[in-house]
């Protein structure tokens, strides 16, 4: 982005300090004082500490101006441009909405209990074969991340693909009203965040808030195999486009072939085309179908649809194969976890071809509430001791699965359990069991930090 300071002040209805050079140009927006780029507008937000306290760090790292809460106007830095506002977070959102209207791209919003990040990446891969695209980076999918994503757009952006996360009612409503999507995608309804919602039906209600801000001619793209989506009466008469496995959907697969590194499939809509995605597991076909749905709605040609799916820029640690330092292959899926996702990746992992043994490392699935013990224990029937030889579990909630698996595995021989603060011990024990040709699956909620295990298994310092 490029925007003069006086334009930003008007957009957020803020007040520039007297003597500020109104023609000063801002080229980016950031809330982390350590990670901003030269030319940035610093937005101090309240977290564990008040972001206003980091203004000197922001200046040292190249910030050229800042938003500033009026309640802290007495602490505003001297001789540094600030825009006085009532609420910096609200002003960040107002600025994003202003900039979005200024660039005016088509907006594709994506949410879902599982697969939203992969689907976002596949959509961007498909659409960028034809248009200039900006997409959500990393986990910038909440009230702060979505505005930052919008403000990261280049002026030539034609399509914005924005991921939206949710952990409470009303959150997606506000995000949808912020971006006013032309296409709203729900990948599926699972158990993620059931601690806060109680039932899958209430999760579906909250996910459907993504349609609240749809443009008048917008399209709702959804998993048509899910009754909670397919049968839900929405407030507006929306155009719908469904994907899934059943022949009643607008797009569905007619053939699927899996391998250890990719998945190939054909669909009812382009019968002469075989599509390939660089992901294992037929569950990822649904994510690809969602991407194809968006591509067709944006009139991407079949040849470009195929090319875009085959060569997406995928976010790290979402079912990503990584080479370990002992000659093993690691399937890293350490960003989030819930029962549906674990079952799907276990099935795919259990069917790979290998010369060694399969080892599974699972950490707690968080935010399952009163259902947690039952849902953890219920994963036991997804384990085949002939296909998966060693199981390492970490976290308090995994105690239930450990107990359930004792009928199939021998504790301290093929079945191991660790507390969340024993990651170092887990990594050390795991390394002793790994040999060249083995495959290791790492899967847990992000709060369990299994990425530390991944670092240990891949670091050259441990070779």
- Model confidence pLDDT, tens digit, residues 104-155: 999 999 999 889 999 999 999 999 999 999 999 988 999 999 999 999 999 9
Is 134 annotated to bind a ligand? Reply is no
Count the Cβ atoms, other than its own, within 10 Å of residue 45.
Answer: 20
The annotation status of 340 as a binding-site residue, yes or no, is: no
Dihedral sign for Cα atoms in the order 51, 54, 58, 63: positive
For residue 78, what are its two tokens?
């001297």
pTM for this model (two decimals): 0.93
User: If DSSP states are collapsed to H, E and C, what string results for 108-142?
Assistant: EEEECCCCHHHHHHHHHHHHCCCCCEEECCCCCCC
Q: Please state the φ and ψ torsions of residue 147, each to the nearest 5 degrees.
A: -60, -40
Tokens of 410: 């021998």
Q: Phi and psi dihedrals of 98, rounded to 5?
A: -60, -50
Task: Give the span between the Cα atoms of 451 and 446, in whole angstroms.
Answer: 8
Other CB atoms within 10 Å distance of the CB of residue 457:
23
Q: Which residue has the higher pLDDT, 14 or 18?
A: 14
Position 20 scores a pLDDT of 80
Kindly tell me if the per-residue pLDDT of 193 is higher than 70.
no
Beta strands at 239-243 and 28-30: parallel, antiparallel or unpaired: unpaired
Task: Please check if 114 is assigned to a binding site.
Answer: yes
> DSSP state, 161?
E
Give pLDDT, residue 462. 60
Per-residue pLDDT band for 236 (boundaries 50, 70, 90) equals low
Query: What pLDDT, on the 0 to 100 scale, is given for residue 389?
Result: 98
For the chain, list the domains and their CATH numbers.
3-86 (3.40.1390.10), 104-310 (3.40.1190.10), 320-462 (3.90.190.20)
Region 8-14: what's the mean pLDDT? 97
User: Are the C-beta atoms of 112 and 286 separated by less than 8 Å?
Assistant: no
- 308 marked as binding residue: no
422-450 pLDDT tens trace: 999 999 999 999 999 999 999 999 999 99
224 annotated to bind ligand = no
Is position 403 annotated in a ligand binding site? no
Residue 112, marked binder: yes
């Amino acid at each position: 982005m490029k925007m003069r300071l006086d334009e930003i002040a008007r957009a957020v209805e803020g007040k520039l300090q007297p003597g500020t050079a109104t023609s000063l140009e801002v080229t980016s927006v950031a809330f982390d004082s350590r990670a901003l780029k030269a030319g940035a507008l610093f937005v101090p937000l309240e977290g564990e500490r008040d972001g206003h306290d980091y203004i000197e760090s922001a200046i040292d790292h190249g910030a050229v101006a800042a938003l500033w809460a009026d309640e802290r106007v007495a602490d505003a830095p001297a001789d540094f441009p600030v825009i006085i506002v009532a609420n910096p977070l609200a002003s960040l959102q107002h600025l994003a909405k202003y900039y979005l209207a200024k660039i005016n791209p088509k907006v594709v919003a994506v949410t879902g209990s599982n697969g939203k990040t992969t689907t976002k990446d596949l959509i961007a891969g498909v659409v960028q074969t034809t248009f200039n695209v900006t997409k959500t980076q990393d986990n910038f999918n909440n009230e702060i991340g979505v505005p930052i994503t919008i403000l990261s757009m280049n002026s030539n952006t034609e399509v914005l693909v924005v991921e939206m996360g949710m952990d409470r009612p009303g959150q997606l409503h506000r995000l949808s009203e912020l971006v006013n999507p032309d296409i709203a995608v729900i990948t599926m309804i699972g158990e993620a965040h059931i601690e806060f919602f109680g039932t899958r039906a209430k999760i579906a209600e909250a996910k459907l808030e993504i349609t609240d801000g749809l443009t008048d001619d917008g399209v709702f793209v959804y998993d048509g195999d899910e009754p909670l989506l397919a049968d839900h009466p929405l407030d507006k008469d929306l155009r719908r486009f469904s994907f899934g496995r059943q022949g009643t959907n607008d797009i569905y697969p007619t053939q699927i072939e899996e391998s250890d590194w990719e998945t190939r499939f054909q669909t009812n809509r382009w019968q002469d085309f075989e599509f390939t995605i660089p992901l294992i597991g037929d569950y990822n076909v649904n994510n690809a179908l969602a991407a194809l749905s968006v591509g067709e709605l944006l009139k991407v040609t079949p040849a470009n649809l195929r090319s875009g799916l085959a060569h997406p820029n995928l976010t790290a640690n979402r079912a990503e194969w990584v080479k370990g330092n002992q000659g093993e292959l690691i399937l890293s899926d350490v960003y989030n976890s819930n029962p549906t996702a674990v079952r799907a990746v276990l099935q795919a992992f259990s069917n790979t071809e290998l010369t060694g043994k399969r080892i599974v490392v699972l950490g707690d699935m968080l935010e399952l509430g009163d259902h947690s013990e039952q849902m953890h224990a219920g994963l036991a029937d997804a384990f085949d001791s002939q296909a998966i030889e060693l199981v390492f579990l970490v976290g308090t909630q995994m105690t239930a699965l450990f107990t359930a698996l004792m009928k199939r595995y021998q504790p301290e021989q093929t079945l191991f359990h660790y507390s969340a603060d024993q990651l170092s011990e887990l990594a050390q024990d795991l390394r002793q069991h790994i040999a060249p040709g083995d495959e290791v699956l790492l899967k847990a909620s992000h709060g369990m930090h299994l990425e530390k295990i991944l670092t240990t298994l891949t670091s050259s310092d441990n070779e």
